[in-house]
Amino acid sequence: MYLEIVTPEASLVSGEVESVTVPGVNGEFQMLNNHAAIVSLLGPGKVKFAGSPTIAEGFEKKFTQAEGKWVLEINSGTVQMSDNRVIVLAD
């Protein structure tokens, strides 16, 4: 599936991933390939993804790696999953 992570600063991530885990307002949840369409608010926490998408130049320091996944701390946002495309709008 294709992942995009966009912040007010820039588009931070774009590319193919195997899974995406986000901090929903009612708890963390994961999306895999062919997940049902969803739109959800995000709370403070970590966006985690497995795969090797492109991370925008100059923003690599915003990401850490843990347990084989890339991790980005966010304060809030929204996520949309549709047709194997995940878009995270994060703050």
Q: Rounded to 10 degrees, what is the CA torsion of 57, 61, 64, 65?
A: 50
pLDDT at 47 (0 to 100): 98
Whole-model pTM? 0.95
* Domain spans, the chain: 2-90
Q: What tens digit of pLDDT does each residue of 7-23 get? A: 999 999 999 999 999 99
- Per-residue confidence (pLDDT) for residue 70, from 0 to 100: 97
For 46-73, what is each residue's pLDDT tens digit? 999 999 999 999 999 999 999 999 999 9
- Distance, in Å, from the CA atom of 91 to the CA atom of 42, rounded to the nearest integer, reads 10
Residue 23: count of CB within 10 angstroms of its CB: 23
Rounded Cα distance, 86 and 32, in Å? 10
Q: Which fold has domain 2-90?
A: ATP Synthase; domain 1 (2.60.15)
Tell me the C-alpha distance between 55 and 47, whole Å: 14
